[in-house]
């Protein structure tokens, strides 16, 4: 009996020790992006916000993005590694407009208490936001990065807060922001020209959820999603039947899955409607893998950047619909 007790104690001890080691490793990895000597340690939520902050901050700052590729911000729950990073952060940037559904209250509370947490979408005039959606608790549609022209407004929030927290780097932040602003506006011009290649009768974008209204507004496309603005609301049988009928009525030939949403629903719709599912997942709520560089239509771009994300989406949509 004594031997059994000793064995049980040893096994439990090894398990607890391994668990502690795992947690310690996870917490240490949370600060892995916080390089020594950085003027500021910054946490960003979505991949799009993290990319923006890195572009503006450059080498002066260390940025830790707590959401990776394929992560759905609507349902993201704070992990221990994210909590550890937040504790070490000098500044925190998040998208806002209730994109980070489960984190929203905590972010707003931190912003009120510590004055170091900022929603980048505060830089967008309210009259340019799409009207509140009923199924999104009356809040504005948060997927503003779908329009590069709107997204550039968010740069001003990041520049202002970085410059105030690190005055010595203010000129560098402003220069980086102006360069990046020019690149985003050039991206918008390129996208308009490319999307114009799709015949008007085919300018209908059907995706897994309603994340592309700003994109559709920017480039003259009608947009339909299987799920609502938030992926937390499941599509019912009537939603699916209505979408199938719409696809047949408009005689569409291709519909699109999204990288951060399970493709099962959109594939079922495609089967019922008798249309193709694009082999290319659109990036809706998260960018692609960093370093995933592709060459297409004479261009090279990294799908793990905001500019590469938009170019991937535009090329996938045009190739699928024209």
Residue 187: beta bridge partners?
A: none
Provide the number of structural domains found in the chain.
2
The Cα–Cα gap between 145 and 80 comes to: 28
Q: Are residues 173 and 255 in the same domain?
A: no
Render pLDDT for 50-102 as a digit per residue (tens, 0 to 9): 999 999 999 999 999 999 998 989 889 888 888 899 999 999 999 999 999 88
Q: Mean pLDDT across the chain, nearest whole number?
A: 86
What is the tens place of the pLDDT at every residue in 32-56? Answer: 457 788 999 999 999 999 999 999 9
CATH number at residue 251: 3.40.50.1980
Q: What's the average model confidence in pLDDT over 280-305? A: 94
Instruction: Check whether residue 289 and residue 205 sit in a common domain.
Output: yes
Confidence of residue 4 (pLDDT cuts 50, 70, 90): very low
* 141, 247: one domain: no
Please say which residue of 187, 208, 228 terminates a domain.
187
| Structural domain includes residue 49 | yes
Within a domain: 150 = yes
Residue of 167, 177, 231, 182 whose CA lies nearest to 53: 177
In which band, very low, low, confident or very high, does the pLDDT at 298 lie, cut at 50, 70 and 90?
confident
- 157 is in which domain, residue-wise? 29-187
Q: Which of 140, 165, 187 is the last residue of a domain?
A: 187
Q: Is residue 122 domain-resident?
A: yes
- pTM as predicted: 0.85
The band of 214, judged by pLDDT with boundaries at 50, 70 and 90, is very high
Buried b / exposed e along 203-212 (16+ C-beta atoms within 10 A) = bbbbbbbbbb
Strand positions, DSSP E, the chain: 40-44, 61-65, 91-94, 117-119, 204-209, 222-227, 254-255, 276-277, 293-296, 299-302
> Model confidence at 208, in pLDDT bands (50, 70, 90)?
confident
> 214 and 182, same structural domain?
no
Domain shared by 158 and 53, yes or no: yes
The C-alpha R_g of the chain, in whole angstroms, comes to 22
pLDDT of 199 over the 60 cut: yes
What are the tokens at 154? 């968010």
Q: Please check whether residues 179 and 202 belong to one and the same domain.
A: no
- Whether residue 207 is found in the same domain as residue 239: yes
C-alpha separations of 146 from 28, 81, 195, 256 in Å: 34, 29, 14, 15
Q: What length is written for the chain?
A: 322
Residues 114 and 76 in one domain: yes
Q: Mean pLDDT throughout 127-142?
A: 80
What is the spatial distance between Cα 154 and Cα 217, in angstroms, rounded to a whole number? 18
Instruction: For the beta carbon of residue 294, count every other beta carbon within 10 angstroms.
Output: 15
Region of poorest pLDDT, from 77-86, 210-219, 277-286, 303-312: 77-86
Do 39 and 167 belong together in one domain?
yes
Q: Which is nearest to 176 in space by CA: 157, 194, 155, 196?
A: 155
- Kindly state whether residue 2 falls inside one of the protein's structural domains: no
């Amino acid at each position: 009996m004594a031997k059994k007790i000793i064995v049980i104690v040893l096994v439990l001890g090894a398990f607890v020790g391994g668990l502690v080691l795992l947690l310690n490793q996870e917490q240490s990895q949370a600060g892995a992006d916080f390089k020594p000597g950085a003027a500021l340690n910054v946490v960003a939520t979505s991949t799009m916000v993290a990319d923006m902050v890195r572009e503006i901050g450059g080498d002066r700052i260390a940025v830790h993005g707590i959401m990776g590729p394929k992560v759905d911000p609507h349902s993201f729950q704070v992990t221990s590694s994210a909590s550890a990073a937040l504790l070490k952060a000098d500044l925190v940037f998040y998208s806002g407009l209730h994109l980070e559904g489960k984190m929203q209250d905590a972010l707003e509370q931190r912003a009120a208490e510590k004055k170091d947490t900022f929603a980048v979408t505060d830089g967008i005039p309210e009259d340019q936001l799409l009207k509140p959606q009923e199924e999104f608790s009356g809040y504005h549609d948060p997927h503003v990065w779908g329009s590069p022209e709107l997204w550039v407004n968010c740069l001003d929030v990041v520049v202002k807060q970085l410059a105030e927290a690190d005055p010595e780097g203010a000129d560098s932040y402003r220069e980086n922001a102006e360069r990046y602003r020019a690149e985003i506006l050039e991206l918008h011009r390129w996208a308009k020209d490319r999307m114009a290649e799709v015949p008007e009768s085919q300018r209908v974008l059907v995706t897994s959820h309603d994340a592309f209204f700003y994109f559709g507004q920017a480039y003259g496309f009608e947009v339909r999603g299987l799920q609502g603005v938030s992926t937390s609301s499941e599509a019912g049988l009537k939603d699916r039947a209505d979408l199938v009928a719409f696809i047949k009525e408009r005689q569409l030939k291709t519909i699109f899955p999204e990288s951060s949403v399970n493709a099962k629903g959109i594939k079922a719709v495609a089967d019922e409607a008798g249309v193709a599912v694009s082999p290319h997942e659109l990036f809706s709520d998260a960018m692609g893998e960093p370093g995933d560089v592709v060459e297409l239509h004479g261009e090279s771009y990294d799908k793990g950047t905001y500019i590469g994300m938009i170019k991937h989406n535009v090329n996938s949509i045009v190739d699928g619909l024209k």
